[in-house]
Amino acid sequence: MRVLGIETSCDETAAAIVENGRSILSNVVSSQVALHRKYRGIVPELASRAHLQKIAGVVERAFGDCGNPQVDAVAYTQGPGLMGSLLVGKVAAQTLAHMLDCPLIGVNHLEGHIFAVELSQKLRFPLIALIVSGGHTDLILSFKPGRYRVLGRTRDDAAGEAFDKVARLLNLGYPGGPIIDRLAKKGDPAAVKFPRPLMPETWDFSFAGLKTAVLYRVQRLGNGPRPCEIHDLCASFQEAVVDTLAAKVMAAAQKFGVKDVVLGGGVAANSRLREVCAVRGFDRGIRVAMPPPSLCTDNGAMIAQAATHRLMDKSRPVRGFRCDPSLPFQNWAIG
Ligand code: KG4
Ligand code: ZN
């Protein structure tokens, strides 16, 4: 079974073909980073226009890269995401499904991030998933595909948003996550003891206070931090985010007696988060599964993979196809 997956929820125009839920035959991701860089953040109107310009070429390449195979279904991201961007992907998918006379499947973006793992290793249930990206910081408990309980989420900035905003106040460029990840390697994570926003009474997260703590620190340094101070700030800020995320995901796994943790979303590409979660998981007998960094950020393969699961599991009804910028995830696939 071959599935074409189309992803346009944010600022990547992406299409991929996945065979039998195992092999990626093609995976084309066209990033709009250069377009949004000068605004140091995503401009929704520009994003949807760029998707419109690129989508046909991206889909054509996804087919061309693997010798124009036949596909059995077309999947697209139904939400959450930017409405204008989602609609471009949906219309493209709907048109293709009609032309190819095959089923059309709407996929929840968060389910896509969870299933990205399955392109390199088997997903094992029950699991705790931590989806961390520019738009999400969600801690999810799942006993089987399609059954999701959102335990907690961010109350203000998403983890990736915090990376992007801290990079902006240090004048480092956009997107901030990969830049901070790189510079943090040259700094001391213990140089500044930033707060760990653990909020022990809930599974929720909050990164706005941490970002403000970095701002105060930078202001106290006066005339702009020197390079070594920037490295220390990056390392210390990153350590606070990673420590918080890893503490919560491990606590959730232990509380719910779950032996499998899945990481997903752009921030799951962070080298320190991967390292800390792997070590803490090993110490507690918890398997931490994470996609390779290239499949942590938005891509069409994860959408095709989640849809493949959906097609093979007849107990999961296909829901409506309407795009929804704030599509809920709680028990999303069981109606
Ligand atoms: O999943 P994604 O591609 O798009 C969204 O759905 O938001 O995630 C993008 C986010 C950005 O905020 C970016 O700064 C962050 O993921 N990111 C990282 C790293 N690579 C990407 N954050 C920390 N470390 C990284 N290596
Ligand atoms: Zn995403």
Local structure of 140: helix, strand or coil: strand
pLDDT of residue 333: 47
pTM recorded for the entire structure:
0.94
> How close is the Cα of 175 to the center of ligand 1, in Å?
7
> How close is the Cα of 223 to the center of ligand 2, in Å?
36
pLDDT, average across residues 61-72: 98
- Judged against a pLDDT cut of 80, whether residue 114 lies above it is answered with yes
Taking the C-alpha atoms of residue 184 and residue 180, their distance in angstroms, rounded to an integer, is 6
Taking the C-alpha atoms of residue 205 and residue 138, their distance in angstroms, rounded to an integer, is 8
pLDDT, average across residues 225-251: 96
E strands present in 145-276: 147-153, 260-264
pLDDT, average across residues 270-290: 98
137-144 vs 104-108, strand pairing mode:
unpaired
Tell which one of 132, 163, 238, 239 to mutate to probe ligand 1, the residue whose CB is within 8 A of the most ligand atoms.
163
Tell which one of 275, 297, 302, 327 to mutate to probe ligand 1, the residue whose CB is within 8 A of the most ligand atoms.
297
Taking the C-alpha atoms of residue 258 and residue 126, their distance in angstroms, rounded to an integer, is 6
- Give the least confident one: 2-6, 12-16, 171-175, 291-295: 171-175
List the beta bridge partners of residue 127. 142
Give residue-wise pLDDT tens across range 242-278: 999 999 999 999 999 999 999 999 999 999 999 999 9
Identify the residue whose C-alpha is closest to ligand 1 atom 18. 177
pLDDT of residue 160: 96
- Judged against a pLDDT cut of 60, whether residue 290 lies above it is answered with yes
All structural domains of the chain: 2-116+295-312 (3.30.420.40), 124-290 (3.30.420.40)
Which one of 250-259, 304-313, 315-324 scores highest in mean pLDDT? Answer: 250-259
Q: Is 77 within 8 Å of 40 (Cβ atoms)?
A: no
Q: Is 12 within 8 Å of 42 (Cβ atoms)?
A: no
